[in-house]
Each structure stands twice: as C-alpha cells, then as structure tokens.
Amino acid sequence: MMTIRSTSFPVAPISDNARSDAAPIFQVDLSAFDEDAIGKSRYIKQSSQNTEWQDLGNARVVVTGGQGLKSADNFKMIEKLAEKLGAAVGAIRAAVDAGFVPNDLQVVKLERLLPQNCILLWVFLEPFSTLTGMRDTKVIVAVNKDADAPIFQVADYRLVGDLFEAIPELIQLPEKKWICYFYTKLLDSVSC
C-alpha cells in the first residue's frame, strides 16, 4: 500500500493528447468477508467521515482546538465558532487522543496538510510543538492566555486571553462586529 498527500504535487495540466479511460467500479458484497473466506486477512469494520464537518484538505478557514479545552463538551465551542465563520473544525493530536473529537479532524500530522492560503484560528492552552501541517497556511490567528506562548512566535495575529472567555465572546458577536473585534483585540488599533 502507498499513500501520497494530495497537496504534495501541483495539479498537472491536461494536454490535448492525454488519454483517460473510465476506471471500472465493482460492487463488493461485504457479507462475504469472513475469516474462512479470506484467510489471514480479515475485515474489521467500515467507517465513513462525519459529513457535518468540512473537509480539512479543502477548507479556506480552519478553527483548531486542543486538549486545553479540557472536554468534548468544551470542544463544542470550537464547533460553534467554526459554524459562525463558515470554517472547518480541526484538532491537534492531544485533543484527538483525549477523545474530544475523531481522528478525522487532526490537523497537525504528516498525512494532513492544510491547503495553501488557508486561514487558521489556533485555540489551545498546551505547548505548541510543530509546524507540520500548517506550514503553507496564509494567516495564523492564535488565542492563548500565556503571552509568551510559543505559538505566538509564528502567529500573524495574537489574542492573549482565556479561551473560555474569548471564544464565547466571539461566538456572540454579530457579523458586523467581527472586523471591529479583530482590529481592537488582535491588532490593538482603533476602538469601535
């Protein structure tokens, strides 16, 4: 078996003399998969990705949370914020390992790179460990209560504050106030 990241290579242009034939599709009867029928291999389960969430590989904006959210219930704040922004939901490995969200949402791993020009809103408390998975993002917005948090070294915009106060505040803002909020809170410029 071999896997290749979808973002590893640019899309090749289609030439006039290119030939492509439709690949045959076969329906497989899964009931035939028992240990006697297939020998050393065995069927474990079939699963599918949660369709409520946007695909991270194609997202323009991703709101990401970590173990600092402390529970799956608290992680729902990230989901609400992502919904408000029309963004995808992502998680770092610690949140996945803690069982807050499924593995499909893990953004910082070698198999899943966020698309180029993606805007990443990074919301978590634990130490920042790697740029893998977000090296091509266009903008990184970080929320952390520690003003010296390592994530702030790579973030384009920083919001120093308690995520349990900042995220509900962001969720409650009317759409017209979003720009104002980011100018005052993130850019420390004008007040509205």
pLDDT tens per residue, range 150-183: 778 877 778 888 888 888 888 887 765 655 555 4
Specify if 2 maps to a domain: no
Does pTM surpass 0.85? Answer: no
Residues sharing a CB contact under 8 Å with residue 186, sequence separation 6 or more, in sequence order: 141, 157, 158, 159
Residue 164's nearest CA partner among 121, 118, 115, 125 is: 125
Specify if 9 maps to a domain: no
Specify if 156 maps to a domain: yes
Specify if 100 maps to a domain: yes
pLDDT one digit per residue (tens) for the chain, 192 residues: 456 656 666 766 666 676 667 777 777 776 666 656 556 666 666 555 555 666 776 777 788 888 888 899 999 988 888 888 778 888 888 888 899 988 888 876 534 555 555 555 665 555 555 555 555 667 777 888 888 887 788 777 788 888 888 888 888 877 656 555 554 554 444 444
- The two beta strands, 119-123 and 157-160, are unpaired
For residue 146, what are the domain limits?
A: 56-186
CATH number reported for the structural domain that contains residue 92 in this entry: 3.40.50.1220
Specify if 81 maps to a domain: yes
Domain count for the chain: 1
- The two beta strands, 139-144 and 157-160, are parallel
Specify if 45 maps to a domain: no
Specify if 24 maps to a domain: no
Phi, psi of 140 (to 5 degrees): -115, 125
Separation between Cα atoms, residue 159 and residue 19, nearest integer Å: 52
